[in-house]
Structure 1
């Protein structure tokens, strides 16, 4: 794996969200921020989505690992979120899956605390955030 910043994509989605929807949101977000797809090192989500076909398919298409965290692990990142979603909290026990998951994994992979490079982007069935660490 090459050195340099780790970019981690955090993803949240509705049950049954197709990989094509997630990919479109990813491509759109990267393009809007001038980030190349090959800079992305990993995907992260909540463990409730561990078996979500669209997420697994996207990770497989791009040959990137998908790491899932428990709501308890994600809740530790609450203070760093750009947006607290009451709906997400009611459904999952954490206030934001995409941002929390991106931060959780980037913190784990990097040498320094991660920060959100791209805050929560929302599509009809999915949310995405991008965290970076050195």
Structure 2
């Protein structure tokens, strides 16, 4: 009997990025990859964004748990990223918030190693990635 895959969205954003901007990027990415919103189990980001109003509002709108990871935890995912940003590293200490956070949470929730289903997508003021595990 196969279990439903666990899908997790990782998000990065600039300060002050509104929830509507994050939601538009999420909807666009899911639609482009044929993933239904109700398949997404959780959201993830870096702990620097723990109090970011747009991220918190999006999690509330979607009724999804939001997990934040430290830069040290996310740095471990460097080799698994499709895109490494020097700017992100200078600012946060990790090379990619969206992909790293998605992989970290999927690894935490699943029993198989997480993989990126949707690599880093860039929108206005925001980035998104989707990881899956089972």
TM over 0.5: yes
Distance 2:64 2:129 in 1: 16
- Gaps (5+ residues) in structure 1? none
User: How many residues of Structure 1 are paired with residues of Structure 2 in the alignment?
Assistant: 132
Aligned to 1:41, what secondary structure does the other structure show? strand
| Structure 1 residue 48: Cα displacement | 0.1
Is 1:43 the equivalent of 2:43? Answer: yes
Unaligned ranges ≥5, structure 2? none
What's the Cα RMSD here? 0.5
Q: What is the match of residue 70 of structure 1?
A: 70
Partner of 1:82: 82
1:105 is matched with 105
The within-5 A match list for 1:1-134 is 3-134=3-134
| TM-score normalised over the length of structure 2 | 0.98
The CA deviation at 1:37 is: 0.3
Deviating runs (4+, > 4 A) in structure 1? none
Residue by residue, what CA displacement relative to the aligned partner does 1:27-52 show, whole Å, maximum 9, x if unpaired?
00000001000000000000000000
Q: How far, CA to CA, are the matches of 1:110 and 1:42 in structure 2? A: 12
2:85 and 2:124 map into 1 onto residues whose CA distance is 15
CA deviation after TM superposition for structure 1 residue 124, in Å: 1.7
The two structures have a TM-score, normalised by structure 1, of 0.98
2:72 aligned counterpart, secondary structure: helix
SS at match of 1:35: coil
Between the aligned partners of 2:92 and 2:18, the Cα distance in structure 1 is: 20
Aligned with 1:94: secondary structure? coil
